[in-house]
């Protein structure tokens, strides 16, 4: 959908290596976007499952086997996305794809040593983009820790704008009011409400939409403004003072690196001595502790803190879940765990055992979609609990939106213009903002409104 805003883009032939969770999710997205999709996987059952639900072709075999790639007509593909759980397979598939003339390639890797390498140029080898899944999860978690209480967070416009989802509680100052009531507030000039999720319904909020208890509201703005707004609207969510990370694997290490940019105090617990040494060498102001995160003494040794967040990112789902429960007992206000098994995710959510599960797939899918749609649409994001999409469009000169104020535009129902980027400056899309040619505009679209937007931008 998103790829078709500047003129009707020709549909691509996309080869997906790996039909696991990530591959299946991507395949679904690509099919929706009207691309020709071929999926290669060595698991026949996974392929059969895909084949019954989606209009795509499947090829059985190892994705790094040239003969299998030939069978999948690799030379006709425009894009190859390699998302098996093996780094070497993914990278090899990309290299082979480039050798057979595939225009663009993306590989998922889990080891940071690939992306960190300065001497091996993956682009020259044929891998246009390495997506490190742990980087993506880490960014996801970092966003949540940065904005306590948020349901989810997504970055847009080169991280200049963020979209945040929050729940409206009993004592929220928003409760019972509509946006009209806040017309005099200064934040309304800087914060744009994108969507309200009420039960199973999703609405695009208008001036007279009233906020109720249990609503999930999504709003967008520049990071500083968002932080100020949240201080006002959700004062009970104080910023964390300390983050404890259990597990110094790729995810934990990457998260600690990112958190070092903030003011939070960071503790990283790692059991393995060598790994702990490596972590302490890599990190600057993080306190690295060698020990078992489930051991009471380890936690007691850190000392209690009031505003503590706990992130479990060891390799074991079970360890992570239990770790979070223990940490809660020790006063952690927020717990998050990396959980890979689909079966666990449902149960953990149902029992409300922890505050947040790091969905290993969603963050990476977003990142891959950003890249794939890169030509005309610089960024797009899907939020897990919000149907529809955030799309970014560039106003071409002569487009009928150029030069008009937002309030004068005929915007299809179910579409909200969020913000515009002009000359490196973010402008909140208030009604009186006049759009100009060359603006990069972010809009939120409900699924039903996508065809109308397509028509509007392909004319």
Positions in the binding site for other proteins (CB under 8 A): 13, 31, 36-38, 44, 52-57
Beta-bridge mates of residue 41: 60
CB 288 → other proteins: shortest distance, Å? Answer: 49
Nearer to other proteins, 4 or 150 (CB): 4
Question: Are residues 107 and 94 in contact, defined by beta-carbon separation less than 8 angstroms?
Answer: yes
Number of H helices, E strands in the chain: 15, 22
Buried b (16+ CB within 10 A) or exposed e, 92-123: bbbbbbbebebebbbbbbbebebeeeeeeebe
Pairing of strands 440-445, 104-109: unpaired
CB 204 → other proteins: shortest distance, Å? Answer: 24
For the chain, the distance separating the N- and C-terminal CA atoms, rounded to the nearest angstrom, is: 15
In whole angstroms, give the CA distance from residue 353 to residue 51: 35
From 75, 71, 109, select the one nearest 92 (Cα to Cα): 109
Nearer to other proteins, 39 or 283 (CB): 39
Question: Are residues 441 and 2 in contact, defined by beta-carbon separation less than 8 angstroms?
Answer: no
CB 11 → other proteins: shortest distance, Å? Answer: 9
Question: How would you class 345 by CB atoms within 10 Å of its CB: exposed for 0-12, middle for 13-18, buried for 19 or more?
Answer: middle
Longest Cα separation, the chain: 67
- CA distances (Å), origin 171, targets 91, 124, 152, 214, 234: 51, 56, 21, 11, 9
Query: What's the token pair of residue 431?
Result: 């009604």
CB 447 → other proteins: shortest distance, Å? Answer: 14
Nearer to other proteins, 105 or 378 (CB): 105
Nearer to other proteins, 6 or 36 (CB): 36
Nearer to other proteins, 82 or 276 (CB): 82
CB 30 → other proteins: shortest distance, Å? Answer: 10
CB 115 → other proteins: shortest distance, Å? Answer: 30
CB 38 → other proteins: shortest distance, Å? Answer: 5
Nearer to other proteins, 82 or 354 (CB): 82
HSE toward the beta carbon, residue 33, CA cutoff 13 A: 27
Nearer to other proteins, 59 or 362 (CB): 59
Nearer to other proteins, 52 or 410 (CB): 52
CB 90 → other proteins: shortest distance, Å? Answer: 21
DSSP string, 165-206: EEE--TT-TTTT-BGGGGTT-GGGGT-EEEEEEETTEEE---
CB 341 → other proteins: shortest distance, Å? Answer: 26
Nearer to other proteins, 40 or 147 (CB): 40
Tokens 């800087």, residue located? 190
Nearer to other proteins, 44 or 408 (CB): 44
CB 13 → other proteins: shortest distance, Å? Answer: 7
Pairing of strands 79-82, 13-17: parallel
Query: What's the token pair of residue 437?
Result: 């040619």
CB 96 → other proteins: shortest distance, Å? Answer: 19
Angle at 263 between CA 257 and CA 269, to 5 degrees: 50
- CA distances (Å), origin 162, targets 75, 155, 218, 227: 39, 5, 10, 10
Nearer to other proteins, 31 or 99 (CB): 31
């Amino acid at each position: 959908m998103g790829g078709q805003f500047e003129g009707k883009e020709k549909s691509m032939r996309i080869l997906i290596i790996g039909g696991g969770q990530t591959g299946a999710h991507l395949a679904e997205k690509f099919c929706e976007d009207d691309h020709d999709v071929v999926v290669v996987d060595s698991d026949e059952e996974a392929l059969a499952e895909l084949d019954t639900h989606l209009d795509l072709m499947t090829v059985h075999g190892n994705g790094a086997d040239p003969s299998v790639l030939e069978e999948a007509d690799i030379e006709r593909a425009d894009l190859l996305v390699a998302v098996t759980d093996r780094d070497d397979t993914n990278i090899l598939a990309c290299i082979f794809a480039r050798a057979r003339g595939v225009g663009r390639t993306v590989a998922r890797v889990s080891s940071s040593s690939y992306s960190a390498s300065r001497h091996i140029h993956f682009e020259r080898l044929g891998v246009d983009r390495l997506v490190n899944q742990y980087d993506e999860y880490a960014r996801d978690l970092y966003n949540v820790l940065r904005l306590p209480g948020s349901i989810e967070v997504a970055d847009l416009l080169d991280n200049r704008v963020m979209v945040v989802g929050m729940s409206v509680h009993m004592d929220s100052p928003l409760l019972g009011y509509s946006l009209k009531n806040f017309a005099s507030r200064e934040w309304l000039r800087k914060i744009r409400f994108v969507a309200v999720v009420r039960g199973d319904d999703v609405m695009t909020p208008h001036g007279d939409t009233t906020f109720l208890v249990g609503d999930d509201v999504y709003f967008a703005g520049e990071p500083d403004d968002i932080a100020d707004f949240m201080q006002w609207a959700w004062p009970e969510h104080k910023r964390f003072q300390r983050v404890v990370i259990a597990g110094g694997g790729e995810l934990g290490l990457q998260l600690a690196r990112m958190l070092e940019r903030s003011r939070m105090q960071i503790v990283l617990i790692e059991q393995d001595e060598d790994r702990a040494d490596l972590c302490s060498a890599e990190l600057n102001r993080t306190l690295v502790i060698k020990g078992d995160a489930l051991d009471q003494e380890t936690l007691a040794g850190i000392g209690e803190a009031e505003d503590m967040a706990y992130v479990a990112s060891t390799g074991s789902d079970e360890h992570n879940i239990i770790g979070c429960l223990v940490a809660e007992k020790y006063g952690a206000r927020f717990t998050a765990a990396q959980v890979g098994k689909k079966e666990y995710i449902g149960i953990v959510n149902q029992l409300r055992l922890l505050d947040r599960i790091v969905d290993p797939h969603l963050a990476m899918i977003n990142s891959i979609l950003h890249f794939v749609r890169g030509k005309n649409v610089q960024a797009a994001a899907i939020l897990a609990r919000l149907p529809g999409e955030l799309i970014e469009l560039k106003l071409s000169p002569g487009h009928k939106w150029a030069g008009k104020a937002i309030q004068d535009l005929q915007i299809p129902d179910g579409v909200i213009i969020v913000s515009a980027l002009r000359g490196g400056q973010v402008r909140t899309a208030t009604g009186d903002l006049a759009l100009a040619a060359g603006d990069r505009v972010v809009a939120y679209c409900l699924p039903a409104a996508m065809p109308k937007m397509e028509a509007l931008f392909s004319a």
